[in-house]
């Protein structure tokens, strides 16, 4: 059967909305033969729906409920491609499905317990042999009680060939499908029963080393790489190494953002090997005010290793010397203006000891720094600090390991409540460093202890406190909200604030912008040829550019999101503004995948039409940064927004962007109705009245302006809201025939 071109319509009845089925007319599709359809809203997106028929549906249209339209980003009267779809019984029958649960309406919450086993049976009865896709949203009516909102979190299908379940994006339910329920984030729904959540377990990546006992989490790959380069040769007997005529690696440089575990890793390296007690030196401790004393301090560090090398030869034990903040003493020679040459001679002395004429083979120098760019280049060549490892921010698996390490003692002693889930905590702590996660656990523990302190004229501790003390999930949430904020994730909340009300899919222009943004994010992730993609999102004021940019950034799921906004630089002089912008980009280079939103770019440039006036210093800084390719292994997506594309063209700035996306205002009555439907601000009768009032008319209004007008109209008495809205549209939006 060929693809049919049909239009999106509303679901005709509330009862059909609860079936999670698309509704068609029998004249278009025979539901006795066709059970499921594939919908093509755009060429790059397809959605599968189970269908039912109803005479109220106009032929040539397909009825979708509001949750379905929001999930698939469908707008009313949008043209879509429709064709039958048949599931493969060998690979698409769902063996288990995990659903996130929350109350559909937040104001109607209750503490009543919901039995998940009963819910699972009811779910399979309400949705028999129905198509489900990961991320899909639907409404679930449980035993005539309150309506629940469900989101498909995870699907597993049975592979009939291997007889084993596997992860899948799409599938169809069967009578024996296992159904699991989990509370949505920040939900207060009370779930009970055995079908409550399906636990996933993290396996240790490298079974040869117990990183948990060593207190190192999230650095498995880095530790393995260091072991391969620096320690593998030390595992073999000295005679074998001598026969190969090789020299051991004598230096490692660990660099990266603060708090990521550089010092911790350096301390544990000595314990991993059969080595002498490591010598830990803070860089500034080397420096001395007397001439020659700084160099003497460096020589003293290597004295024991030299004596043992002379006495024992190849059988000498390993001496580890750890330099914390090595950039303090090893700055590039000649870079410190007006100094007495002390820094230069210290660098020379250190180079001579590591790789001089009388080089030692029983030492391992480990340097740590946040500023690799400041270190003398001679120190990083082979034979010196030749193994250079960046210790970056931990990924989600790493954060789970770090949380397990810092909560292990509490869990063993029964002081950690059962509701604390480290997997969920790892999801919530995106962009946290290891030190910040440790601080989070410490803050949660302090909150739990403070709960058992009696606040009276004097501080008293509850006598039963030691027995009743438990750190709960609420303690961690309190610490997340109030106590610990990640240094590289502070804009996550700010980005979310721009899309707090959601994106309203009022027509094809919105879907196209999000689709293009998704493609650009995918390009940054997967393409090896374009590590930097800069896109200009331009359009009239109030057209939702910043919100769309924030939504694209959130959908990209990049671990680092930052917004460069003029509102954060009010009162900055030009140099300070340039430094702030450069810092944002420098921070972005520390993450493997980053997204930076440069909001309202003409305001950053201090552009004013009278004059005209703009900051050439900021302009040149942006031109350089928008074209600067990130370091190897790093990828960056830059989304810039502007309401004055003509100004950027005059400044020859549009040439630095790889792509341009235009945002539109609402221009037709159909788009207006679609936007109002997405806002869900009016009753069905009011929507019918608005439809009659705007039928066939044209307008030009920004979506942000429309939201303000709708809220103004909603403040009037019932029955007057529609006339008020039409009047406001005529005054503000140019509503005309």
Residues in contact with 733: Cβ distance below 8 Å, sequence separation at least 6, in sequence order: 666, 699, 700, 701, 705, 706, 709
CA 481 and chain centroid, separation: 17
353 is catalytic: no
Task: State which H helix or E strand residue 536 sits in.
Answer: strand 532-538
Please, are residues 7 and 58 in contact by the beta-carbon 8 Å criterion? Answer: no
Residues in the chain: 737
Active-site residue (options: 61, 151, 177, 546): 546
The two structure tokens encoding residue 675: 């936007």
DSSP class of 273: T
Q: What is the dihedral of CA 426, 427, 432, 434, to 10 degrees?
A: 20
DSSP class of 559: S
Q: Is residue 184 exposed (0-12), middle (13-18) or buried (19+ Cβ within 10 Å)?
A: middle
340 is catalytic: no
Q: How far apart are CA 440 and CA 434, in angstroms?
A: 10
Please, are residues 611 and 515 in contact by the beta-carbon 8 Å criterion? Answer: no
Active-site residue (options: 600, 635, 641, 705): 600
DSSP sequence for 659-704: EEEE---EEEHHHHHHHHHHHT-S-HHHHHHHHHHHTT-EEEE-HH
Cβ-count burial 63-91 (b if 16+ within 10 Å, e if not): bbbebbbbbbbbbbebebbbebbebeeee
Report the Cα–Cα distance between both ends of the chain, in Å, rounded: 41
- Reported as half-sphere exposure (CB side, CA atoms, 13 A), residue 499 has a value of 18
Task: State which H helix or E strand residue 4 sits in.
Answer: strand 4-10
Active-site residue (options: 27, 164, 627, 628): 627
Active-site residue (options: 599, 606, 635, 677): 599
Q: Is residue 223 exposed (0-12), middle (13-18) or buried (19+ Cβ within 10 Å)?
A: buried
599 is catalytic: yes
* SS3 of residue 537 by DSSP: strand
The two structure tokens encoding residue 597: 């939103």
Cβ neighbour number for residue 725 with a 10 Å cutoff: 27
Residues in contact with 663: Cβ distance below 8 Å, sequence separation at least 6, in sequence order: 509, 513, 537, 538, 539, 540, 543, 544, 545, 548
355 is catalytic: no
Q: Is residue 467 exposed (0-12), middle (13-18) or buried (19+ Cβ within 10 Å)?
A: exposed
Q: How far apart are CA 323 and CA 370, in angstroms?
A: 13
Active-site residue (options: 331, 353, 430, 545): 545
- Unique residue bearing structure tokens 């636990």: 199
Catalytically annotated residues: 545-546, 599-600, 627, 704
């Amino acid at each position: 059967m060929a693809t049919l071109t049909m239009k999106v319509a509303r679901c005709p009845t509330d009862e059909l909305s609860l079936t999670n089925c698309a509704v068609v007319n029998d004249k278009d599709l025979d539901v006795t033969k066709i059970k499921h359809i594939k919908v093509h809203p755009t060429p790059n997106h397809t959605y599968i729906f189970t269908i039912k028929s109803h005479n109220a549906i106009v032929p040539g249209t397909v009825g979708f409920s509001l949750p379905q339209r929001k999930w698939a980003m469908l707008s009313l009267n949008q043209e879509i491609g429709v064709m039958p779809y048949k599931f493969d019984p060998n690979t698409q029958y769902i063996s288990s499905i995990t659903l996130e649960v929350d109350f559909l309406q937040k104001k109607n919450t209750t503490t009543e317990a919901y039995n998940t086993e009963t819910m699972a049976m009811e779910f399979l009865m309400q949705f028999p042999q129905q198509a489900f896709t990961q991320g899909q949203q639907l409404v679930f009516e449980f035993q005539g009680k309150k309506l629940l909102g469900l989101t498909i979190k995870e699907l597993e299908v049975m592979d009939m060939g291997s007889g084993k379940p596997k992860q899948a994006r799409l599938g169809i339910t069967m009578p024996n499908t296992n159904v699991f329920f989990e509370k949505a984030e920040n939900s207060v729904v009370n779930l009970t029963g055995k079908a409550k959540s399906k636990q996933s377990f993290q396996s240790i990546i490298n079974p040869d080393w117990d990183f948990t006992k060593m207190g190192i989490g999230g650095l498995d790959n880095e530790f393995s790489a260091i072991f391969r380069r620096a320690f593998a040769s030390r595992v073999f007997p000295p005679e074998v190494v001598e026969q190969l005529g090789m020299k051991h690696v004598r230096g490692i440089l660990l660099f990266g953002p603060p708090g990521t575990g550089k010092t911790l890793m350096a301390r544990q390296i000595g314990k991993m090997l059969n080595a002498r007690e490591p010598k830990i030196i803070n860089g500034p401790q080397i420096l001395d005010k007397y001439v020659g004393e700084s160099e003497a301090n460096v020589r003293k560090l290597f004295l024991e290793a030299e004596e043992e090398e002379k006495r024992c030869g190849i059988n000498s034990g390993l001496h580890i010397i750890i330099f914390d903040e090595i950039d303090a003493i090893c700055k590039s020679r000649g870079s410190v203006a007006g100094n007495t040459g002390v820094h230069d001679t210290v660098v020379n002395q250190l180079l001579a000891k590591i790789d001089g004429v009388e080089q030692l083979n029983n030492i391992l120098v480990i340097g740590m720094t946040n500023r690799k760019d400041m270190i003398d280049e001679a120190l990083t060549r082979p034979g010196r600090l030749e193994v250079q490892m960046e210790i970056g921010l931990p990924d989600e698996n790493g954060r789970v390991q770090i949380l397990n390490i810092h909560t292990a003692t509490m869990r063993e002693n029964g002081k950690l409540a059962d509701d604390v889930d480290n997997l969920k905590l790892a999801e919530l702590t995106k962009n946290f460093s290891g030190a910040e996660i440790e601080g989070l656990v410490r803050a949660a523990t302090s909150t739990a202890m403070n709960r058992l302190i009696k606040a009276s004229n004097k501080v008293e501790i509850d006598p039963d406190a030691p027995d009743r003390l438990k750190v709960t999930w609420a303690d961690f949430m309190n610490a997340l909200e109030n106590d610990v904020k990640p240094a590289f994730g502070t804009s996550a909340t700010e980005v979310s604030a721009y899309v707090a009300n959601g994106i309203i899919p009022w027509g094809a222009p919105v879907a196209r912008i999000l689709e293009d943004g998704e493609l650009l994010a995918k390009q940054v992730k997967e393409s090896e040829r374009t590590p930097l993609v800069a896109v200009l999102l331009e359009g009239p004021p109030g057209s939702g550019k910043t919100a769309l940019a924030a939504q694209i950034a959130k959908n990209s799921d990049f671990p680092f999101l930052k917004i460069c906004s003029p509102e954060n630089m009010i009162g900055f002089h030009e140099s300070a503004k340039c430094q702030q912008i450069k810092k944002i980009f420098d921070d972005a280079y520390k993450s493997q995948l980053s997204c930076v939103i440069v909001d309202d770019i003409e305001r950053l440039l201090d552009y004013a039409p009278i004059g005209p006036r703009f900051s050439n210093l900021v302009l040149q800084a942006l031109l350089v940064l928008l074209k600067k390719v990130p370091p190897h292994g790093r990828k960056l997506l830059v989304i810039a927004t502007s309401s004055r594309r003509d100004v950027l063209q005059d400044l020859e700035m549009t040439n630095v962007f790889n792509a341009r996306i235009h945002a539109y205002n609402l221009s037709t009555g159909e788009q207006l109705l679609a936007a109002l439907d997405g806002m869900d601000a009016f009753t069905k009768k009011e929507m019918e009245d608005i439809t009659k009032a705007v039928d066939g008319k044209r307008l030009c209004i920004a979506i942000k302006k429309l939201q303000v007008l709708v809220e103004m109209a909603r403040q009037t008495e019932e029955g007057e809201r529609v006339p008020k809205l039409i009047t406001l549209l005529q005054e503000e939006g140019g509503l005309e025939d």
